[in-house]
Amino acid sequence: MTIEEVQQEIIADFSVYEDWMDKYTYLIELGNELKPIDDAFKNDQNLIRGCQSRVWLQQKMEGDHLIFEAESDALIVKGLVALLLKVFSDRTPQEILDADPQFIDTIGLRQHLSPTRSNGLMAMVKQIKLYALAYKQISSQKK
């Protein structure tokens, strides 16, 4: 599936829920299902600090794909992290750089990507893009 197709699938999944509290229940479920990252990776280096919640982001390159693992101490954020990983993880750096997580806007959770310093989500997307850029530059230097 392309990134765009994954986003459309997420939007479709959410449209089932009309009531706001149901959307959040679903998000919390997703958060609960997210595979926790190794405690060894929950270090300061991987921490994207936010005033309201903490997000840890771990990355590695496998072949020409960038794999991300992430976690948060807040469940709603964890659910959003799970969705962002569905979209961004296991992709080439170029796919990541070209992608825009507008699905969050479409499902109506825009406030969670706001640029206030209140949560790590915006910073996480930025960090993902930075990793993609770095890996893209490394691989083009190798050529």
Partner 1 sequence: MGFNFQDIRKDFPILDQQVNKHPWVYFDNAATAQRPKVVLEKIREFSVITNANIHRGTHDHAIRTTEAYENARDIVKDFLHAEAREEIIFTHGTTESINLVARSFCEKFLTAGDEIIVTEMEHHANIVPWQMACERHQAMLKVLPFSDKGELRMELLETLITNRTKIIAVAHVSNTLGTVNPIEEIIRIAHTHHIPVLIDGAQSVPHIAIDVQKLDCDFYAFSGHKIYGPTGIGVLYGKRALLDTMPPFLGGGEMIEQVTFEKTTYNELPHKFEAGTPHYVGAIALGTAIQYIQSIGLDKIANYEHHLLNHATKQMKALGDLHIFGESPSKTGVICFKLDQIHPFDLGTLLDQLGIAVRTGRLCADPVMDHYHVTAMTRASFAFYNSEEEIDLFIKALQRIRSMF
C-alpha–C-alpha distance, residues 13 and 77, integer Å:
18
C-alpha–C-alpha distance, residues 67 and 135, integer Å:
11
Best CA proximity match to 93, nearest among 140, 55, 45: 140
- Find the shortest distance in angstroms from Cβ 71 to partner 1: 12
* Choice between 76 and 87, CB closer to partner 1: 76
Q: State yes or no: residue 43 binds partner 1 (CB under 8 A).
A: no
Region from 7-15, 47-55, 91-99, 128-136 binding partner 1, contact rule CB under 8 A? 47-55
What interhelical angle do 20-33 and 75-88 show, nearest 10? Answer: 70
The stretches of the chain forming alpha helices (DSSP H) are 3-15, 20-33, 75-88, 93-98, 103-106, 121-142
Region from 16-24, 34-42, 82-90, 132-140 binding partner 1, contact rule CB under 8 A? 16-24
* Choice between 112 and 136, CB closer to partner 1: 112
- Find the shortest distance in angstroms from Cβ 2 to partner 1: 30
Residues between 101 and 140 with contacts to partner 1, criterion CB under 8 A: 112, 118-119
Q: Give how far Cα 134 sits from Cα of 26, 87, 93, 122, 126, Å.
A: 34, 19, 9, 19, 12
Region from 7-15, 49-57, 62-70, 88-96 binding partner 1, contact rule CB under 8 A? 49-57
Catalytic positions are: 51
Interface with partner 1 (CB under 8 A): 20-21, 24-25, 28, 51-54, 73-77, 112, 118-119
